Structure 1
Amino acid sequence: MSNRLQLDRELASLQSLIIEMAGRVDEQFADATNALLNGDTELADTVIERDDAIDELEMKIDEQCERILALHAPVAVDLRMLIMAVKINTDFERIGDHCRNLSRNAEHLVDWPGLIVKTYIPEMADMARGMLREVEVAFLEEDRLKARKVIARDLQVNRMHADNFSMLVEMSRSHRERAEVVAHLLTASKGLERISDHAKNVAKSIVFMIEGNDIRHRGLRAESS
């Protein structure tokens, strides 16, 4: 078997592992948000228990990247794919961590079932989930336009988190008996905002993988040029 053919097979295996990771993280996110919004502590426990499987898959993907680098010393577009696979893998694993943390907040909201719907948390969850699914498709189809749309949508999630922060701080001042639950709502809102950030990071990695154009920290590059 030629080295090129073997490399192509190794890269295809790597792509399959990343797609598997994306699917598992998407399932975790769906269950974590359902547990949070519905006060389902049993489902929350399931999400927490499954986090180890996400960590194990992260290590498997890293090992595949190391194997390809050691055996094939890839260059050009293949090397770019490898670099971005490592970054995407890390972002997906971080999303998995935030899903676990969202689930841990669920038990603290059970006694206040009507409070979460007064925030933008349900809307943030819907938008962040949509972003996550879009980056999955963008990666699978190598679609840079879909990836760029995900990047643009992150600002909307950021604005909703800022609105939540203001609203919940005011609520804690006017209803001191809600201080503890407000803290958990703020944590959940921040977790969703971070999931959106990681989805955006994956989208930026996809753009770089396809175009070879690094669109991170563009302000810093403009200052140095």
Structure 2
Amino acid sequence: MSSSANEPRSQLDGELHTLRRHLVSMATLVDEQLAHAMNALIQGDVEAGEAVAARDSEVDALELTIDRHCERILALHTPVAADLRMLIMAVKINTDFERIGDHCRNLARYTAPLADFPDMLAATTVPRMADIARDMLRGAEEAFINRDRVKARTVIARDQQVNRLHAENLSALIAQMQQTPEATEALSYLITASKAIERISDHAKNIAQGVVFLVEGNDIRHQRLSDADRSS
């Protein structure tokens, strides 16, 4: 085969490599946002929280860059099946990354109203949930970089742990509201923070599911529905 015939494939491979680099940059950015948002929240550092919220525009800008790059590839090239899986996954997980960024921004904004209640925050499962959610996010990134479906499935399984901690947190905080109605506002922020971290873990799970789809060509988001279709 001539070098001219190979040129379109080489160009596409280059575009896909750039897309992967953008996605890794996005993963790194939102991981930093989550770490800094939780540090600000736990330490009651309002200035640090404001800095995290300000960086959300960087997440939004990178989301647009990735979307436009996917559009460029589709417009200029003829992707085969494996390439199309990469593009489908990229569009989906790009949205998940952007939403994680939004939740990090919101967590950072809770720093000011919760700064006077450090003991209340420490008594919740919020810090533990955040540690697990960040581990999940990093695991999903590692699974993507290495195309590791086993690692991806490990990340997916951990989502249930975060869900359980959130449920425990919710019950405890609602009970505390009833006992100390004067602290209702602060407790409401803690409930919202817990929910934000639970949603971050959901998005990390979605990213890991995208890796399974990329590697296996198998969409496992609604596994029970697929199993039901096969058995009917």
Settle same-fold status: TM greater than 0.5.
yes
Equivalent residue, structure 1, for 2:161: 156
Q: Equivalent residues in 2 for 1:132-211 (5 A)?
A: 132-211=137-216
Calculate the TM-score normalised by the size of structure 1.
Answer: 0.98
Calculate the TM-score normalised by the size of structure 2.
Answer: 0.95
Question: Could you give the per-residue CA deviations for residues 102-121 of structure 1, whole angstroms, max 9, x where no partner exists?
Answer: 01111111111111111101
Are residues 1:81 and 2:79 paired? Answer: no
**Aligned with residue 220 of structure 1, among 214, 225, 230:** 225
Q: How far apart, CA to CA, are the structure 1 residues paired with 2:195 and 2:31?
A: 18
**Aligned with residue 57 of structure 2, among 44, 52, 56:** 52
**Aligned with residue 93 of structure 1, among 98, 102, 108:** 98
Q: How far apart, CA to CA, are the structure 2 residues paired with 1:207 and 1:222?
A: 17
For structure 2, the 5+ residue unaligned runs are: none
AA paired with 1:69?
Answer: L
Q: How far apart, CA to CA, are the structure 1 residues paired with 2:117 and 2:140?
A: 34
- Number of matched pairs: 225
What's the offset of the Cα at 1:224?
3.1
Question: Could you give the per-residue CA deviations for residues 57-108 of structure 1, whole angstroms, max 9, x where no partner exists?
Answer: 0000000000001111212100000100001111000000000000111111
What's the offset of the Cα at 1:26?
0.7
- Structural RMSD (CA): 0.8
Report % sequence identity.
57
